[in-house]
Structures are given as structure tokens and as C-alpha cells.
Structure 1
Amino acid sequence: MAIRDALDVLNGKWKLQIIIAISSGQSKFKDIERQIPKITPRMLSKELKSLEDHKLIKRTVYDTLPVTIEYTLTPHSKTLDKVILELRNWGALHRKKILDS
């Protein structure tokens, strides 16, 4: 069941990409949107809300005109660092294997 729990949190093609985009530091919605070219604003909004619900990102609203909203990773999201690194390594290995075939 633990794998199912992890997959429920990280399912879909956008969540890990969003986490990676935010990992460069505090990010605004448009910053994240630019780093993930094919994501729609509606989907990005939905995925950010889900990641916030799962305590992987923090949303901070600043009282400015216009209102500024920034997203940062939580300490809990840092527990995914090894997982992301291993997925990146596996992806590179898999790509090489497929291209060499």
C-alpha cells in the first residue's frame, strides 16, 4: 500500500516537473508555467493545489498590487530528492538502451 500512496500523490505527468521547477527557489505561477511549456494554466493551478494539500509545496500570498503569490518547496518535499535523482538516472539509462537497440 505504501507504493500506492506514493503514486497517488505523484501521479500524472506534471507533479514531479512542478517540484523540479520550484526547486530552483521561490517561484511565481508564471515562472513555473514558463519552465513547463506544455502545461495549461488550469492544470498548473490544479496540480499546485494538490501538491499544497499533500504538504509538498507552500503557497505564500503577499499583500501587493497586484497580489503576488510565490510557491516554495517544504522540508517534506526534500524527502523526494533521492527518488527524483534515481528516476533521472533510470530515465537516462533507459533512453540509452532504447536508442542503442
Structure 2
Amino acid sequence: MADVREDWPELPTTGFVAGRTATQADVASGAAIFATDGASSASDLKVPQYVWWHDDEGRRHPRVLVQAEMVPGGMTIVGLRDSAGNEAAATLPEVELLGTRKPE
């Protein structure tokens, strides 16, 4: 399937959570997409960075990863934001990490 045509947003300089787990205050301020109230640990993924998010129909959507945490059982959950500011949580297998250079 074809990629969804959307613009790549700029990487934020604020409004993300890196190197620690998010709090409810981070969610309330818009910096985080979710909070697990201490049930997760920080991921070592680079935050923020560009990713392709793969939907259930196999299409790729450009997103910015703004949060990454490991939950019990070892799964990594990521917080994503699109160019319009829409937010979603996904599992790491649903995204393709692209790094900090804006894709063309």
C-alpha cells in the first residue's frame, strides 16, 4: 500500500519526554502522550526522532516519536505526534525509527 501523504513536522525542542518516564503532569502539559504511574521504565530510544507509523492496512504515516517507555513484560510503548498535533500511542513494532534528520 502507498504511504499516506502528510508533511513531516519539525522535531520539537520542547514538548516531549526523554530519559525518564512521563508523569500525569507531563500529560497535562502536552509533553507526554501517556503516563503509567510508575509501572514503566525509561527507554533508551532517542527522543524526539522521526518515525514511520504503520497502520493496520500496511500504510506508513509520518510521525515524531515524543516518548518511549518500557512496560512490564518488556514491550516498548511510544508516544507519537503528527504534523497537525494529533497524538497516539503505539508499540515499538508498529514504527520504523528514522533518526533525527528530517526525511525527504
Question: TM-score range with shorter-chain normalisation?
Answer: under 0.3
Q: Which has the larger strand fraction? A: 2
TM-score (norm 2): 0.25
- Structure with the greater relative contact order (CA < 8 A, sep ≥ 6): 1 or 2? 2
Q: Which entry has the higher C-alpha Rg, 1 or 2?
A: 1
TM-score (norm 1): 0.25
